[in-house]
Amino acid sequence: MEGRRPAGALVLLIRPDSMETRSAGPGDFARFDLQSVPSPCFVVDEAAVRRNLAILKDVGDRSGAQVLLALKAFSMWSLAGLVGDYLAGVCASGLWEARLAREHYKGELTTYSPAYRREDLAEILRLSDTVIFNSPDQIARFAGEMATARRGGDRFQIGLRINPEQTECEVERYNPCQIGSRLGFPVSKLRPEHLAGVDGLHIHALCEQSFAPLRSIWAAIEPKLAPSLSGLKWINLGGGHHITRADYPREDLIAFLRDISDRHGVQLLLEPGEAIALDTGILVGEILDTFENGLNVGITDISATCHMPDVIEAPYRPAMLNEAESGTAVRLGGPSCLAGDIIGDYVFATPPQPGTRIAFLDQAHYSMVKTNTFNGVPLPSIAVWNSQTDRLKLVRQFHYEDFRDRLS
């Protein structure tokens, strides 16, 4: 999803603190038939997912690090078997993702949540190979539950998330190290007694970033952690790594991971989410109506609010498939009643008419997992396409009952 402004675009949206996301462009989706799926519909290219997974497996194999899929970004379990062919396992953000992991995915399961409900913890401990806590106080508070689980035969390791207090994120909303962050125990407050019974540390401070920020974070915290590293089994460097992006310096990452492991005798783990699904999916939609109101307006059956919440939350402007370099600029928005349900300003070679199919790029990650039915807006269908064989399978369609049954 490039941040460029196409020639001729009428860009009036003011989005302070906006995020510039990156995309490799349409790729094989340039030849996908937008009429071949219902509208709206997420379409994921399993061949592209496989390419990303192969890159991550190579990084893991050559660095010795374990690579896990972050389900919070991409939990399309119809491709769980494919993920299991390449990665060491998955990481979950709570009980429901942990259940999904055990039902559909293979390998290791690491679970981290900023806080756990006491009534959920026994099942989380039973399902997970590793449970990561947000603070030493949480570990102490749940010591009884963990002892009971182990007496009952559950086997799991304990991790502690630390806040490196080293800001590298470009957008404050996505910065785990911001002042007042609830994510992780400040490294400046870490004491040896906090690591009693702890098997490893979890460090996550990146968002859609390359290798240099990771290196900077580690350089800042390694001296503080060095006295404690000999007593640990592993270090989890979290997610936010865009390892599968074409310009990511993967050889530098591999050397970096091997160096930490060799010098400190610890297992390294990575938890990419976006990197698995980067540039693997589109969201197909249709223009429902157009009119003029100071500028050209188009209403689509794709809702930023319901189908691409990060467009508003990040915010960012998703790239549109086959956007024209010049022509008619149209502000596209969704069918909900929210005035701010605006996707962005786009250029069409000729004025679009109702029924025109469109698609937004790079929508496999952090879109499907965030969809909602606000205003009764229908959820997009989900399809798997193979760009190598042209095989297309509609794996999920949603109906009125899916909306109704979420309510009471």
Same domain, 293 and 245: no
Is residue 56 domain-resident?
no
Last residue of a domain, one of 277, 292, 322: 277
What pairs with residue 111 in β-bridges? 92, 131
CATH assignment at residue 343: 2.40.37.10
Query: Looking at the structure, do residues 144 and 289 belong to the same domain, yes or no?
Result: no
Considering the domain boundaries, does residue 20 fall inside one? Answer: no
- Are 265 and 301 in a shared domain? no
219, 253, 277: which is the final residue of a domain?
A: 277
Same domain, 237 and 349: no
User: Does the pTM of the predicted model rise above 0.75?
Assistant: yes
> How are beta strands 234-236 and 357-361 bridged, if at all?
unpaired
Same domain for 295 and 187, yes or no, is no
Query: Count of CB atoms within 10 A of residue 316's CB?
Result: 20
Helices (H), 265-346: 274-277, 304-307, 310-313
Is the same domain home to 69 and 190?
yes
72 & 153 share domain: yes
* CATH number, position 226: 3.20.20.10
The rounded distance, in Å, linking the Cα atoms of 366 and 316 is 13
Given the structure tokens 């207090």, which residue do they identify? 165
DSSP summary character for residue 293: S
Q: Is residue 372 included in any domain, yes or no? A: yes
Task: Give, as one character, the DSSP assignment of residue 377.
Answer: P
Alpha-carbon distance of 184 to 112, in angstroms, equals 11
Same domain, 238 and 307: no
Same domain, 131 and 79: yes
Of the residues 239, 260, 277, the one at which a domain ends: 277
Strand 89-92 with 66-70, pairing? parallel
Residue at 283 is within a domain: yes
- Dist. CA 152–CA 107, nearest whole Å: 22
Domain that holds residue 393: 27-45+279-404
309 and 213 share a domain?
Answer: no
Same domain membership, residue 113 and residue 127: yes
For the chain, 408 residues long, give each residue's pLDDT as a single digit of tens.
333 333 333 444 545 455 666 668 899 999 999 999 999 999 999 999 999 999 999 999 999 999 999 999 999 999 999 999 999 999 999 999 999 999 999 999 999 999 999 999 999 999 999 999 999 999 999 999 999 999 999 999 999 999 999 888 877 888 888 888 899 999 999 999 999 999 999 999 988 889 999 999 999 999 999 888 989 999 999 999 999 999 999 999 999 999 999 999 999 999 999 999 999 999 999 999 999 999 999 999 999 999 999 999 989 999 999 999 999 999 999 999 999 999 999 999 999 999 999 999 999 999 999 999 999 999 999 999 999 999 999 999 999 999 999 999
Do 37 and 143 fall into the same domain? no
52 within domain boundaries: no
Please check whether residue 13 lies inside any domain of the structure.
no
- As for how many domains the chain has, the answer is 2
